[in-house]
Structure 1
Amino acid sequence: MNAIASIDLARWRAGGPAAAEIEHEVDEGLRRAGFLLVYGHGVPEGLAGDVRAAARRFFALPAAVREKYAVTVGGRGWIGPGKEANGYAEGTRTPPDLKETFAVGADTPTGDRAVDDVWFLPNVWPDEVRELRDLVTAYTAAVRTLSDELLALFAAALQLPANPFQNLAGRPTWTCNINHYPPLTTVGAPEPGQFRIGPHTDFGTVTVLDREPGAGGLQVYTEAEGWADAPYDPAALTVNIGDLLAYWSGQRWPSGRHRVLPPQATAPEEDLVSLIYFYELDHDAVVTPLTPPIGRVGNLPPVVSAEFLRVRLDAITIG
């Protein structure tokens, strides 16, 4: 899918003309699709695979065991089937997404209970898969470092004199969802309009995705091409920007619209696990959109990160 640019962060780190080329490619690629395929990302080789294997051991536990860790969307623990419908974020009432999730998040409380009880809940780790804690902690630390570097790159891509995100992400909110997409033989035939994840955009700044390809896999929407399968390379990570960063850009860059297809009759045993890291900013960060000529839309008011995100999270929660 040519709409999605492939970039190598190692070339950007090298500086000079190569870095300038990467910055141009990032701006053009994000303007087309809100998505990038990122090489040279620095996440240790094999770490995501180890997380995925441990997560599979958790998802293979009996439902009664997983239920001990059950939470709703935005919580820390197991979000079972039928709890989320991402299509609601676009105002489309779809059947629940065909997935289950193990979710963790930022565990750096502020001391303000009203804030911490929403954005910095303690993580919950399954006693039955003890290795999951250390693996996920290492993975999210590596991906947070990558996310901060991506934000610095995005500021450079717009030739800003300084990286504004350095002062907006000292104690950021973030969530890492480990999504399990069971096979058709387990969930049965999808209802009309039902997906593994319905069409939507993400809500924060950057999303970093480590995924497994499949017949019922990720698709990306662009104005030029409509829906198309996202490119995949095991050496790269898929990155898209969310609504908050799109807003900051003055709508220069669209929030990457995407969906995950339902399990397909041609691959009834396909069973996938994806690692999705949703990065945001400090809960009280004030985001002031870029104005023209960098931004495309003028007179957009500043927003507070947590308030901006909360409305969107509530929209996709069922029950």
Structure 2
Amino acid sequence: MIPTVDLDAWRAGDTTVGPAVDDALQHAGFLLVTGHGVTDALRAELRAAARRFFALPASVKQEYAVRIGGRGWLPPGVEANGLVEGTVTPPDLKESFAIGPETSTGDPAVDDVWFPPNVWPAEVPELHAAASRYLAAMTAVSQDLLELCADSLGQERDALTRLARHSTWTFNINRYPPLAEVGEPEPGQYRIGPHTDFGTVTVLDREPGVGGLQVDVDPGGWVDAPYDPAALTINIGDLLEHWTGRRWRSGRHRVLPPQASAPQEELMSLVFFYELDHDAVVTPLEPPVGRVAGLDPVVSAPFLKERLDAISV
């Protein structure tokens, strides 16, 4: 139900990749991908730098604190992803460090929301260099994924990438503290509550754990996400679901709370949300490719902003 596809095989013309992608995104909205070209060494280097930042005293991290949509440290308690589904839920049990593109448009009304300046902690200077290299790799992978998505539906390969020349991507490094640190979760509290992502593709480099990622699969409901240390986990978001005329399913998922069976388990996820240009107009595909006829076009920025505002505590 959640297959592993090889980007190298697709680039080489393997015609079995497209149908596998189409089927997976109809039922789960998730894939694993290999052939992505992101080295284990780079992933480990970035994680090590991030762990050094998160290990700083809270009083130091507070100097870099921001709210959702900002660049810097998102402290525990500022985000509850379940709110986007209308579920009253306690805050998610995580802290994050957020980074975004440094390609301002020159329009303050746009740049203040989508291209604010990044904040790099002076205490961990190596974070900037490692993140910059990793983000260049993520951008390249995401562009390939958008082409793969278009190709899988028989569309022109640049149908999506031509709308992502000035992408409003966001990168979150999420730390999920252990039970021994956060204490017993409140009823209905998760490391990340049930939700779908908002944009096109999310590229996730994750660590496995008993309090890890689960995916809502149709049919069947919640299942533990498969894990392969060599693969990246991919899910699609609401905007891409809309573009496909709801043929594909925005990948609903959650991260379980820390478990009593592993009270010292600490996990870290590297989460790259790739988005289109802030002013990209997304026109849904009509049947027979799309599943629902007559859906209205949407503009990327307000579509995303409405959802981002919904998860702020």
Cα deviation digits, residues 206-237 of structure 1 (max 9, x gap): 00000000010000001211101000010000
CA–CA distance in structure 1, aligned partners of residues 215 and 176 of structure 2: 18
What does residue range 50-199 of structure 1 map to in structure 2 within 5 Å? 50-199=45-194
CA–CA distance in structure 1, aligned partners of residues 155 and 77 of structure 2: 43
- Aligned position for 2:238: 243
Structure 2 residue 306 is the aligned partner of structure 1 residue 306: no
- Aligned position for 2:5: 7
CA–CA distance in structure 2, aligned partners of residues 161 and 155 of structure 1: 6
- Aligned position for 2:35: 40
Cα deviation digits, residues 129-177 of structure 1 (max 9, x gap): 0000010111011011000000001111011144212320110101000
> What letter is aligned with 2:10?
W
Quick one: percent identity of the two aligned structures? 65
CA–CA distance in structure 1, aligned partners of residues 19 and 217 of structure 2: 19
TM-score, reference length from structure 2: 0.99
Shift of 1:24: 1.0
Shift of 1:286: 0.3
Cα deviation digits, residues 184-215 of structure 1 (max 9, x gap): 00000000000000000000100000000001
RMSD (Å) for aligned C-alpha atoms: 0.7
CA contact (8 A) 2:150 2:159 kept: yes
Shift of 1:43: 1.3
CA–CA distance in structure 1, aligned partners of residues 154 and 256 of structure 2: 37
- Aligned position for 1:213: 208
- Aligned position for 2:271: 276
> What letter is aligned with 1:204?
G
Cα deviation digits, residues 242-284 of structure 1 (max 9, x gap): 0000100100000000000000000000011100000000000
| Count of residue pairs the alignment pairs up | 313
> What letter is aligned with 2:136?
A
CA–CA distance in structure 1, aligned partners of residues 217 and 12 of structure 2: 31
Shift of 1:89: 0.7
> What letter is aligned with 1:313?
L
CA–CA distance in structure 1, aligned partners of residues 218 and 73 of structure 2: 35
> What letter is aligned with 1:170?
R
Structure 2 residue 199 is the aligned partner of structure 1 residue 204: yes
CA–CA distance in structure 2, aligned partners of residues 165 and 84 of structure 1: 29
Structure 2 residues not aligned, in runs of 5+: none
3-state SS of 2:40 partner:
coil
> What letter is aligned with 1:248?
W
CA–CA distance in structure 1, aligned partners of residues 158 and 132 of structure 2: 27
Residue number among 17, 20, 27 corresponding to 1:25 in the alignment:
20
- Aligned position for 1:223: 218
- After the TM superposition, list the runs of 4 or more consecutive aligned residues in structure 1 that deviate by more than 3 angstroms: none
CA–CA distance in structure 1, aligned partners of residues 111 and 143 of structure 2: 22
> What letter is aligned with 1:135?
A
TM-score, reference length from structure 1: 0.97
CA–CA distance in structure 1, aligned partners of residues 186 and 277 of structure 2: 39
- Aligned position for 1:253: 248
CA–CA distance in structure 2, aligned partners of residues 222 and 295 of structure 1: 20
- Of 153-162 and 170-179, the range deviating more from structure 2: 153-162
CA contact (8 A) 2:148 2:157 kept: no
Shift of 1:45: 2.7
Question: Structure 1 residues 161, 279: CA separation in 2 closer, same or farther (over 3 Å shift)?
Answer: closer
3-state SS of 1:111 partner:
coil
> What letter is aligned with 1:302?
P
3-state SS of 2:16 partner:
helix
Structure 1 residues not aligned, in runs of 5+: none
